[in-house]
């Protein structure tokens, strides 16, 4: 991390976990542990938990995010939730392009771009996810693939709007598998993402971009990963569902 240039952010991605009552208990457990955090703290929760999460985090240093949003403001899109709906609730962040959305629900680079446009137009902060599969890594196309994902996702985004975007590098092969990229591997791709942003928007924009790592970060490996110069935080899955584990990662990012 380089806190003189950009902000470190630890965001929990709860995925499809926790009822509203369970969400309250989890956030109540997290709040006292992160109240003095030296980094940004966000919890991204299922849609049904958003109202409870927003209520529980009032007056705290914890931001609340959704796990996706649709590109249309309204319409015949059964099961989807729009950016204006999230904005109306007071939601601050939204994850877009997570590998699970791409893998299981047909998300493409183009629809990721459209969703980002909708989120930005409604004043939401975006956590944009990019990353390669194990096969793609073994084929040696990680650099090209991640650069392409980043460029397409940011199509039409202005330099000013870029300030509302965080990019999370999520190697698909390290999500929910217990496998983790080495600190050096994580930093290499986070650096590549930063270079891509610099290519598109200039050095100052690239230096200011918060780039998270999101592949099975946990209390044991967080310090080593976050010590890397181009890793500015984490998008945390399983560990975000355990208050003490999540707090340990936040603590590591605050150093």
Q: How far, in Å, CA of 12 to CA of 15, rounded?
A: 9
Q: Read off the tokens for 145.
A: 């693939």
Q: How far is CA 89 from CA 25, 53, 71, 78, 82, in A?
A: 21, 11, 17, 20, 11
Q: Which residues contact 41 (CB under 8 A, 6 or more apart)?
A: 9, 10, 11, 34, 61, 62, 63, 250
Which of 150, 149, 128, 132 lies closest to 141, judged by CA?
132
48 touches 20 (CB < 8 A): yes
Q: How far, in Å, CA of 148 to CA of 132, rounded?
A: 11
Q: Which residues contact 119 (CB under 8 A, 6 or more apart)?
A: 69, 83, 94, 96, 125, 126
E strands, 136-236, where? 165-169, 211-213, 233-236
Is 98 among the residues known to form the active site? yes
Is 70 among the residues known to form the active site? no
**Catalytic entry in 98, 107, 132, 248:** 98
Q: How far, in Å, CA of 70 to CA of 111, rounded?
A: 9
Rg of the chain over all Cα atoms, to the nearest angstrom: 17
Q: Which residues are catalytic?
A: 98, 170
């Amino acid at each position: 991390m380089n806190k003189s240039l950009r902000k470190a952010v630890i965001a929990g991605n709860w995925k499809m976990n926790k009822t509203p009552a369970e969400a309250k208990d989890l956030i109540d457990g997290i709040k006292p542990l992160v109240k003095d955090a030296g980094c940004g703290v966000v919890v991204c929760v299922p849609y049904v938990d958003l109202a409870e999460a927003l209520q529980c985090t009032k007056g705290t240093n914890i931001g609340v995010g959704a796990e996706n949003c649709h590109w249309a403001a309204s319409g015949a899109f059964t099961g989807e939730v729009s950016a204006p709906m999230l904005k109306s609730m007071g939601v601050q962040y939204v994850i877009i392009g997570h590998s699970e959305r791409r893998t299981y629900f047909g998300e493409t680079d183009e629809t990721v771009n459209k969703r980002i446009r909708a989120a930005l137009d409604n004043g939401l902060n975006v956590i944009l996810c990019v990353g390669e599969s194990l096969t793609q890594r073994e084929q040696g196309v990680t650099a090209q693939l991640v650069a392409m994902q980043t460029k397409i996702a940011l199509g039409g985004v202005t330099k000013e709007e870029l300030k509302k975007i965080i990019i999370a590098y999520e190697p698909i092969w390290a999500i929910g598998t217990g496998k983790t990229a080495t600190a050096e591997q994580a930093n290499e791709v986070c650096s590549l993402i930063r270079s891509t942003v610099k290519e598109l928007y200039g050095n100052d924009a690239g230096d200011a971009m918060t780039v998270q790592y999101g592949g099975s970060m946990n209390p044991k490996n967080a310090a080593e990963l976050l010590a890397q110069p181009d890793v500015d935080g984490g998008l945390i899955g399983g560990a975000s569902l355990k208050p003490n584990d999540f707090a340990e990662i936040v603590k590591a990012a605050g150093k």
